[in-house]
């Protein structure tokens, strides 16, 4: 009964070793998941930094756009005022131009009138000289003769009156033409002064017009620059929004992947906890089995057979490795999953390759077993089981277990 309990405990221990390997792999998987999660968190932190930078850039662009829009609005208002001023100025220039043309016509008319008046004055002056010359230089009659030749005094007076009227008319006409000439000259001078003033006003308005046109051109250029900058900022903001959306998509993918990792991690941790519970139970059973473990009895031939298989499997290995091989054989004898005798365990099909290849038989036939291997066989038969392994093979780095020499025991 005790023997079966020991075998059951060893079987449980064997399964524990296998489960330990599985749990180790699970633990490794958990470590990988944690590393992946940490890497994703680093990437998310970097993405958050990028998002903050993009958000800051968007805020700067938004503020710049507001400033540009305000400046553009002020420029457009200024441009509207300039256009209004230009319109008023153009109206004033048109009015001045109209007045200037009117004055020029008046000046031309006045000039013609002046020329005609001068000619009239000249003609009147010449006519008057001719009449005086005719009356006083070419007349054959003296006033006294005229008096005596007159039929009466009244006729004499009439003749004198006629001569006086002619002289008075000539003087009046001369004065009239002279006054008219003076008025025309004054009018012409006044018109020319008005024309000069209008020309100066026109030149001043043209200078203002040129200044307004320059201001309008400058305002238009500034507005064009503001529009261009606004377009660039708009494109930049669209690019920033696209980059922001791309980062959001990346975060969404990461979050989905994180969810998968969390689920995987939960499953792995559940498996690990379950395996840990099993291991604890197996350890408990192992301790109970170890407390009840007794040396295995063997015949002389079985002891020699054990020493021979130890020689075949680890004859060139350290003594501790030879003890480990012997421990594996006896652990199988005590396990409910293997045969109950040393002979059956060693010759079990597809288990120990030297038994199948004929090497074991050759060693037994020729007595090739070394004293070290015989000593190891005696020790394990006496109860010196160095480990609870059920398997061993050459270490290739792919199996987790206890490495002794060139072999791994598990």
Facing residues of 392 across strands?
409
Q: Are strands 407-409 and 402-404 parallel, antiparallel or unpaired?
A: antiparallel
Give me the phi and psi of 297, to 5 degrees please.
-80, 145
Residue pair 196/99 in contact by the 8 Å Cβ criterion: no
Residue matched to tokens 């089995």? 289
- The sign of the torsion formed by the CA atoms of 77, 79, 82, 88 equals negative
How far apart are alpha carbons 373 and 325 in whole angstroms?
10
pLDDT, mean of each 10-residue run, the chain (410 residues)? 40 42 50 81 85 86 87 86 85 86 87 84 78 61 62 73 78 81 87 89 88 89 90 88 87 82 75 67 50 57 94 94 96 92 93 92 94 96 93 88 93
Q: Would you state the pLDDT for residue 260?
A: 85
How far apart are alpha carbons 239 and 237 in whole angstroms?
5
Q: Is 35 helix (H, G, I), strand (E, B) or coil?
A: helix
Q: Is 355 helix (H, G, I), strand (E, B) or coil?
A: helix
Whole-number Cα distances in Å, 123 to 120, 173, 394: 5, 11, 152
How far apart are alpha carbons 297 and 279 in whole angstroms?
30
Angle at CA 92, nearest 5°, toward 91 and 94? 65
Residue 257 structure tokens: 């992947």
Q: Would you state the pLDDT for residue 314?
A: 95
Residue 69 structure tokens: 């829009």
User: Which of 33, 38, 26 shows the shortest CA–CA distance to 268?
Assistant: 26
Q: Are strands 402-404 and 392-394 parallel, antiparallel or unpaired?
A: unpaired
Residue matched to tokens 């008005």? 194
Q: Whole-prediction pTM value?
A: 0.38
Domains of the chain as residue ranges with CATH: 90-237 (1.10.287), 296-410 (1.10.10.2520)
> Model confidence over 81-107: pLDDT tens digits?
888 888 888 888 888 888 888 888 888
Q: What is the largest CA-CA distance in the chain?
A: 215
Give me the phi and psi of 5, to 5 degrees please.
-60, -40
User: Which of 253, 169, 12, 199 shows the shortest CA–CA distance to 207?
Assistant: 199
Residue 331 structure tokens: 């652990």
């Amino acid at each position: 009964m005790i023997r079966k309990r020991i075998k059951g405990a060893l079987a449980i221990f064997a399964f524990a070793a296998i489960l330990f390997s599985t749990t180790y792999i699970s633990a490794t998987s958990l470590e990988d998941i944690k590393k992946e999660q940490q890497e994703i968190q680093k990437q998310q932190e970097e993405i958050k930094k990028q998002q903050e930078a993009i958000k800051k850039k968007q805020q700067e662009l938004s503020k710049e756009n507001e400033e540009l829009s305000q400046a553009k609005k002020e420029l457009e208002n200024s441009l509207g005022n300039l256009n209004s001023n230009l319109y008023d100025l153009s109206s004033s220039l048109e009015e001045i131009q109209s007045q200037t043309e009117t004055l020029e016509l008046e000046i031309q008319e006045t000039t013609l009138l002046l020329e005609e008046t001068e000619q009239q004055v000249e003609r009147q002056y010449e006519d008057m000289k001719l009449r005086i010359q005719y009356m006083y230089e070419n007349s054959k009659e003296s006033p006294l003769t005229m008096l005596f030749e007159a039929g009466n005094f009244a006729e004499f007076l009439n003749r004198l009156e006629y001569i006086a009227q002619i002289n008075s008319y000539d003087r009046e006409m001369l004065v009239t033409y002279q006054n008219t000439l003076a008025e025309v000259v004054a009018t012409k001078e006044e018109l020319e002064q008005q024309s000069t003033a209008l020309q100066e006003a026109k030149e001043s308005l043209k200078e203002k017009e040129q200044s307004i046109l320059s201001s309008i051109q400058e305002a238009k250029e500034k507005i064009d620059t503001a529009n261009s900058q606004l377009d660039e900022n708009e494109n930049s903001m669209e690019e920033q929004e696209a980059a922001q959306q791309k980062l959001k998509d990346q975060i969404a993918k990461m979050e989905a992947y994180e969810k998968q990792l969390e689920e995987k991690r939960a499953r792995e941790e559940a498996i690990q906890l379950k395996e840990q519970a099993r291991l604890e139970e197996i350890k408990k059973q192992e301790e109970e089995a170890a407390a009840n473990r007794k040396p295995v009895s063997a015949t002389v031939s079985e002891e020699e057979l054990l020493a021979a298989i130890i020689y075949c499997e680890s004859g060139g290995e350290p003594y501790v490795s030879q003890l480990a091989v012997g421990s594996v054989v006896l652990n199988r004898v005590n396990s409910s999953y293997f045969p109950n005798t040393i002979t059956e365990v060693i010759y079990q099909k597809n288990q120990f390759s030297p038994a199948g290849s004929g090497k074991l038989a050759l060693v037994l036939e020729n007595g090739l077993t070394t004293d070290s291997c015989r000593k190891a066989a005696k020790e394990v038969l006496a109860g010196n089981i160095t480990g609870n392994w059920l398997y061993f093979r050459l270490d290739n780095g792919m199996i987790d277990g206890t490495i002794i020499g060139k072999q791994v025991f598990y």
